[in-house]
Amino acid sequence: MKDRVRFYYETNSMQGRFFLEQNKEKNRITRVAMLRPCTMYDNKTCQVGVEHRSCEFGKQYDSPTISIINDGPRFVFIGEAPGRNGCGTYGIPFMGDRSGTLFMDALWELEINPASCYIDNIIRCCPEKNDLKDYYNIDKIKTLECYGELKKNIKKLKYFGKIFAIGKTAYKSLASMGLEQEIVRVNHPAWYLRAARDNQFVIDLGLKVGLKTDWDQRK
């Protein structure tokens, strides 16, 4: 896989800044001032927020994870929830773990700069044991503050293309929001990793977003 280029992305002032550097070996991430206000999290009335406080990111920053925000994005990708060893440790969607690395590598292979996208999760705190089973019920997800905030943020976007839901829970949640955009389900990178079909994820994502890749021709 070719070396990755650096990119710098700045969120709004409340969420702070982060710098991402990616290459074929690993993701290296440095963050400055990372805050995302959430009343339910602060009041400890959100169970998944309570669980999140026990993960590394929660212990260090005591805050829900952030989003990669672009008001006029090229693409919109929405995942399910922070993975404990990825977003649940670094605080940035699809960063740090195997699933996140596969997703970000796929974007670069498709010549999509993540900073040109809106990338977020339905649930912005890391559930206990990385298990979303308590939130398969969409009615329960709707009670979370982050669900309402995501819906509001998407409606504010200057974006009329398809919204790509990474995983079944993300798809069901987005479909329940009554958004104007078409929701397209993409199998989660974790599924491809479990099936040892990493390369196929790049191909399938390219087909979903309408971009070709020569990945399947590589050794």
Render each residue's pLDDT in the chain as its tens digit; 219 residues.
333 333 333 333 333 444 444 443 444 444 433 456 789 998 999 999 998 888 877 777 788 888 887 778 899 999 999 887 777 777 788 887 889 889 999 998 999 988 889 999 999 998 887 777 777 788 989 999 999 999 999 998 888 899 999 999 999 999 999 999 999 999 999 999 999 898 999 999 999 999 876 654 554
pLDDT of residue 106: 93
pLDDT of residue 217: 52
| Residue ranges of domains in the chain, CATH in brackets | 37-217 (3.40.470.10)
pTM over 0.95: no
Residue type, 79: G
pLDDT of residue 190: 92
Residues whose CB is less than 8 angstroms from the CB of residue 118 and which lie 6 or more positions away in sequence, other chains included: 67, 68, 69, 70, 73, 75, 76, 77, 153, 154, 157, 159
Q: How many CB atoms lie within 10 A of CB 204?
A: 16
Burial of residue 5 (number of CB atoms within 10 Å: 0-12, 13-18, 19+): exposed
Q: What is the distance between the alpha carbons of residues 53 and 203, in angstroms, rounded to a whole number? A: 36
pLDDT of residue 215: 52
Burial of residue 200 (number of CB atoms within 10 Å: 0-12, 13-18, 19+): middle
Q: DSSP state, 68? A: B
Task: Find out whether 199 and 215 touch, Cβ atoms under 8 Å.
Answer: yes
